[in-house]
Protein backbone atom coordinates (compact mmCIF):
# COMPACT_ATOMS: atom_id res chain seq x y z
CA UNK A 1 0.00 0.00 0.00
CA UNK A 2 2.88 2.33 0.76
CA UNK A 3 4.33 1.77 -2.71
CA UNK A 4 0.90 2.34 -4.19
CA UNK A 5 0.45 5.53 -2.17
CA UNK A 6 3.90 6.68 -3.28
CA UNK A 7 3.11 6.00 -6.92
CA UNK A 8 -0.20 7.84 -6.82
CA UNK A 9 1.42 10.80 -5.02
CA UNK A 10 4.10 10.92 -7.71
CA UNK A 11 1.58 10.87 -10.53
CA UNK A 12 -0.46 13.57 -8.78
CA UNK A 13 2.67 15.72 -8.65
CA UNK A 14 3.24 15.01 -12.35
CA UNK A 15 -0.29 16.07 -13.16
CA UNK A 16 0.11 19.23 -11.10
CA UNK A 17 3.24 20.16 -13.04
CA UNK A 18 1.55 19.40 -16.37
CA UNK A 19 -1.36 21.62 -15.38
CA UNK A 20 0.98 24.44 -14.35
CA UNK A 21 2.73 24.12 -17.71
CA UNK A 22 -0.58 24.23 -19.58
CA UNK A 23 -1.71 27.28 -17.57
CA UNK A 24 1.52 29.03 -18.47
CA UNK A 25 0.62 28.79 -22.14
CA UNK A 26 -2.99 29.81 -21.65
CA UNK A 27 -2.24 32.88 -19.56
Partner 1 sequence: MANSGELEIPPKLKAVRPYLLLARDHDKRDPVVAFFCRHYAMETALALDKQDKSPDNKIFLSGLMDRLEKSKEDLRSDEILSNELASQAHVETCASKIFVYADNEDRAGRFHKAMLKSFYKSGLLFDVMQTFGELSEDLQKTRKYAKWKVTYITGCQKRGETPH
# of chain residues touching partner 1 (CB under 8 A): 12
14 binds partner 1 (CB under 8 A): yes
2 binds partner 1 (CB under 8 A): no
Phi, psi of 24, deg, nearest 5: -55, -40
CB of 6 to partner 1, least distance (A): 9
Alpha helices, H only, the chain: 2-26
Interface residue list for partner 1 (CB under 8 A): 7, 10-11, 13-14, 17-18, 20-21, 24-25, 27
Amino acid sequence: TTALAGASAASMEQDELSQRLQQLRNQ
